[in-house]
């Protein structure tokens, strides 16, 4: 899964957690469900307090906030599956994505 966060599902297929990856996880190759961080959000989630990315962090995390808010507010948080996805987190990823998207077999 590389740099992607790992999505955890319950028995009903709803998202229960998103575990964000760390830089040292970039070489991981095990399979699983990767988080693309693409969401369709219920507007009620915007009334929920922001959650830090991890304990002691000054940076807030959207996945952490959405997971906590969905649980607390009883809002369904369901995955959408795709077989094609290009992770873009920086300028070099944009260059690589451009090359991939130009390939007619993508």
Asked if residue 86 is part of any domain, the answer here is no
Which is it for the CA torsion 42, 46, 49, 55, positive or negative?
A: positive
User: 54-102 pLDDT, tens per residue?
Assistant: 889 999 999 999 999 999 999 888 998 888 888 888 899 999 999 999 9
β-strand partners of 60 = 52
User: 15-69 pLDDT, tens per residue?
Assistant: 999 988 765 555 555 678 888 888 889 999 999 999 998 889 999 999 999 999 9
Distance of CA 78 to the CA centre of its chain: 12
Asked if residue 57 is part of any domain, the answer here is yes
Asked if residue 101 is part of any domain, the answer here is no
49, 80 contact by CB (below 8 A): no
**Residues 63, 77: Cα–Cα separation, whole Å:** 11
Residues spanned by the domain of 50: 5-81
DSSP 89-103: -SHHHHHHHHHHHHS
pTM: 0.70
19, 30 contact by CB (below 8 A): no
pLDDT recorded at residue 65 = 94
Q: What's the number of domains the chain is made of?
A: 1
């Amino acid at each position: 899964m590389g740099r992607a966060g790992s999505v955890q599902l319950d028995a009903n297929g709803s998202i229960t957690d998103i575990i964000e990856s760390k830089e040292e996880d970039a070489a991981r190759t095990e399979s699983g469900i990767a988080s693309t961080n693409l969401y369709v959000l219920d507007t009620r989630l915007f009334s929920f307090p922001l959650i830090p990315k991890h304990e002691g962090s000054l940076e807030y995390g959207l996945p952490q906030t959405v997971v906590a808010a969905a649980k607390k507010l009883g809002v369904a948080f369901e995955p959408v599956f795709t077989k094609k996805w290009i992770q873009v987190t920086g300028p070099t990823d944009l260059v690589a994505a451009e090359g991939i998207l130009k390939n007619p077999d993508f």
